């Protein structure tokens, strides 16, 4: 009973936060509302007794991804202090269609998958670890390779940009024009 | 404990928060005394014997002052950030076993929970820096986040060494294991000590303590992320920083120094002694070392600490197979 009440509270909070993610005009507020949504997912995992998933959700998404997104927001900022995003209304129909299509795809996949209708009792962290390293070890290793590829790709992309700007970074003297810009722009 | 988990949980957290907050108040007095002695000064002396009532005077002063919200600040986020910081700092204490029976919740993911909350600490402080709408605050906040996400990686890897050796993610189990088999700082020879040093170093960086305090480098950034904060809001930030240092010390002693385990004295005494020794070391380092530069900080983390942590983890994994 109490779990159900808690679930509905979390669900309402998550939905409201998700709505604000789309409607907020300040880009930093958008990211923070996304943080509330992701945190709500962690609470939902806790209510399902999936403690390990909840902790990983907080470490990876709320702690990691969100921070990186804030970096992105800060680095692309135009106006001082406030970054606004427009919500052009002529994109709305296309957005609804796209959202509905993604929802249908996800819902279809979830309903077709045969899931055992049971909430785990007590600790399932150990069971999760054992399953990863025995039954699903191939998928686990394949995912690790995929992530390694992504990391290496990021390094390659970053390096290529470095090579292009090499003169600017490694060169000892800053051109006089740039110096002026830094000193007198504001 | 009582039958109802809600009531026992509330009572436990009320007791724990009261004790921790009281401890934090006098820890600030203690740090000022140590700082004074290390610089051939006396520290606080006027309020009460040895200046012991100084924290009370400070708290009263902070409560009386006007809490100013800058005109261009984001008012909600500006007020929301300090309590969130405090909640994250104190929340970690819920899984730390102070004695075999006095612990909030022996979660089966205790280590991950503690690291998740401690890693999140940079986030509300970044919110504070952004909401202040002050360039020094924002530079400090960005440095804080960059440092936080970089140093979280070696910190988690170092904390995984005791997890691999004891085969459990629960802090209670890790301490029990050390109680039977010896503290992890002593074995496997070298590896445990290395992991402990690594964890302690990265914990200093996570808590923004010298030599890793570039986010609030006062010679460049006024006071870093909390530049615009006044009165009780600022005090909450300062108290959460102390709280974070104390709880990280408790976490390090739980993971590597055997927590409450030890001869002769009662468990709680051992826990308090170990945590205090680590906290005094943090203070000692603070008043002895210089601040690292930003690029040195990143080079230290990614070029030295992360490979070192991976190597320790590998050796610990091999050790568990060779010596079961």
A57 and A143 housed in the same domain: no
Confidence bin at A85 (pLDDT 50/70/90) = low
Is A89 inside any structural domain? no
Query: What is the CA B156 to chain-centroid distance, rounded?
Result: 14
Mean pLDDT value of segment A125-151: 87
Is A99 inside any structural domain? no
CB contact under 8 A, B126 and A63: no
User: What residues form DSSP beta bridges with A26?
Assistant: A84
Which residue in the set A62, A64, A70 is minimally distant from B126, CB to CB? A70
List chain A residues with CB under 8 Å of B6: none
Give the C-alpha distances (Å, rounded to integers) separating B20 from A70, A92, B91, B105, B255: 32, 51, 11, 17, 20
Q: Using an 8 Å CB-CB cutoff, list residues of chain B that contact chain A.
A: 72, 77, 107-109, 112-113, 115-117, 119-120, 122-123, 126-127, 130, 133, 138, 142, 145-146, 148-149, 152, 156, 169
Q: Indicate the SS3 state at residue B275.
A: helix
Mean pLDDT value of segment B86-95: 86
Mean pLDDT value of segment B9-38: 86
Is A88 inside any structural domain? no
- Furthest CA-CA distance within chain B: 64
pLDDT at A181: 42
Q: Pull the structure tokens for residue A53.
A: 């998933």
Please, what is the Cα angle at B114 between B165 and B195, to 5 degrees?
Answer: 40
Mean pLDDT value of segment B72-80: 84
A17 and A50 housed in the same domain: yes
List chain B residues with CB under 8 Å of A125: 108-109, 169
Range from B97-106, B136-145, B311-320 carrying the lowest mean pLDDT:
B97-106
CA distance A47 to A171: 57
Which residue in the set B109, B119, B149 is minimally distant from A52, CB to CB? B109
Number of domains in chain A: 2
Which residue in the set B116, B122, B149 is minimally distant from A55, CB to CB? B116
Is A113 inside any structural domain? no
Higher pLDDT, A11 or A125: A11
Residue B210 in this model has a pLDDT that exceeds 80: no
A12 and A54 housed in the same domain: yes
Mean pLDDT value of segment A99-121: 82
Mean pLDDT value of segment A60-81: 72
Which residue in the set A32, A67, A81 is minimally distant from B133, CB to CB? A81
Q: What is the mean pLDDT of chain B?
A: 85
Higher pLDDT, B244 or A160: B244
Mean pLDDT value of segment B77-99: 86
Residue B59 in this model has a pLDDT that exceeds 60: yes
A47 and A126 housed in the same domain: yes
CB contact under 8 A, A58 and B116: yes
What is the Rg, in whole angstroms, of the alpha carbon atoms belonging to chain B? 20
Q: Please state the pTM of the whole predicted model.
A: 0.81
User: What residues form DSSP beta bridges with A98?
Assistant: none
Mean pLDDT value of segment A139-152: 92
A126 and A149 housed in the same domain: no
pLDDT at A120: 57
Q: Which domain, by its residues, includes A142?
A: 137-171
What is the Rg, in whole angstroms, of the alpha carbon atoms belonging to chain A? 23
CA distance B205 to A9: 37
pLDDT at A123: 66
Residue A79 in this model has a pLDDT that exceeds 60: no
**Pairs across A and B, CB distance < 8 A:** 56
Q: Indicate the SS3 state at residue A84.
A: strand
pLDDT at A100: 93
Nearest CA-CA partner of B102 in B311, B254, B277, B264:
B254
CB contact under 8 A, A51 and B152: no
A37 and A75 housed in the same domain: yes
CA distance B161 to B169: 11
pLDDT at A12: 93
CA distance A181 to A68: 29
Range from A37-51, A171-185, B107-121, B252-266 carrying the lowest mean pLDDT:
A171-185
Identify each DSSP E strand in chain B by its residue range.
none
Which residue of A32, A67, A69 is the best one to mutate when testing the B interface, meaning the one whose CB has the most B CBs within 10 A?
A67
List chain A residues with CB under 8 Å of B156: 59
CB contact under 8 A, A51 and B109: yes
């Amino acid at each position: 009973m109490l779990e159900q009440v808690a679930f509905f509270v979390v669900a309402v909070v998550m939905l409201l936060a998700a709505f604000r993610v789309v409607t907020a005009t300040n880009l930093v507020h958008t990211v923070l509302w996304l943080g509330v949504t992701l945190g709500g997912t962690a609470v939902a995992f806790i209510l399902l007794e999936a403690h390990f998933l909840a902790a990983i959700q907080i470490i990876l998404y709320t702690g990691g991804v969100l921070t990186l997104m804030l970096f992105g927001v800060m680095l692309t900022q135009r106006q001082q202090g406030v970054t606004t995003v427009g919500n052009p209304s002529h994109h709305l129909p296309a957005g609804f269609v796209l959202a509905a299509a993604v929802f249908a795809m996800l819902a279809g996949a979830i309903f077709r998958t045969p899931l055992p209708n049971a909430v785990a009792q007590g600790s399932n962290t150990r069971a999760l670890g054992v399953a990863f390293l025995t039954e699903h070890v191939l998928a686990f290793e394949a995912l690790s390779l995929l992530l390694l590829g992504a990391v290496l790709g990021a390094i390659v992309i970053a390096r290529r940009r470095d090579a292009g700007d090499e003169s600017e970074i490694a060169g000892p003297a800053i051109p006089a024009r740039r110096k002026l810009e830094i000193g007198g722009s504001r | 404990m009582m039958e109802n988990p809600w009531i026992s949980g509330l009572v436990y957290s009320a007791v724990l928060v009261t004790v921790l907050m009281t401890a934090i108040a006098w820890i600030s007095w203690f740090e000022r005394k140590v700082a004074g002695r290390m610089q051939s000064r006396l520290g606080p002396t006027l309020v009460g014997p040895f200046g012991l009532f100084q924290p009370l005077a400070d708290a009263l002063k902070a409560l009386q002052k006007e809490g100013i919200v800058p005109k261009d600040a984001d008012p909600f986020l500006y007020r929301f950030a300090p309590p969130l910081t405090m909640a994250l700092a104190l929340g970690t204490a819920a899984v730390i076993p102070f004695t075999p029976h006095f612990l909030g919740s022996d979660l089966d993911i205790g280590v991950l929970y503690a690291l998740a909350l401690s890693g999140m600490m940079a986030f509300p402080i970044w919110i504070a820096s952004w909401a202040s709408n002050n360039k020094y605050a924002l530079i400090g906040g960005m440095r804080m986040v960059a440092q936080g996400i970089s140093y979280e990686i070696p910190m988690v890897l170092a904390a995984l060494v005791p997890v691999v050796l004891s085969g459990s993610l629960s802090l209670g189990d890790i301490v029990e294991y050390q109680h039977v088999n010896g503290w992890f700082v002593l074995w496997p020879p070298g590896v445990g000590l290395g992991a402990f040093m690594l964890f302690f170093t990265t914990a200093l960086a996570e808590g923004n303590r010298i030599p890793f305090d570039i986010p609030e480098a006062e010679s460049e950034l006024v006071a870093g992320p909390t530049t615009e904060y006044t009165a009780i809001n600022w005090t909450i930030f300062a108290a959460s920083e102390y709280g974070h240092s104390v709880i990280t010390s408790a976490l390090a002693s739980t993971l590597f120094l055997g927590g409450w385990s030890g001869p002769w004295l009662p468990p709680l005494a051992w826990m308090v002694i170990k945590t205090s020794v680590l906290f005094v070391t943090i203070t000692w380092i603070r008043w002895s070392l210089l601040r690292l530069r930003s690029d040195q900080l990143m080079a230290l983390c990614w070029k030295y600490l992360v490979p070192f942590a991976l190597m320790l983890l590998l050796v610990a994994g091999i050790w568990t197979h060779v010596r079961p």
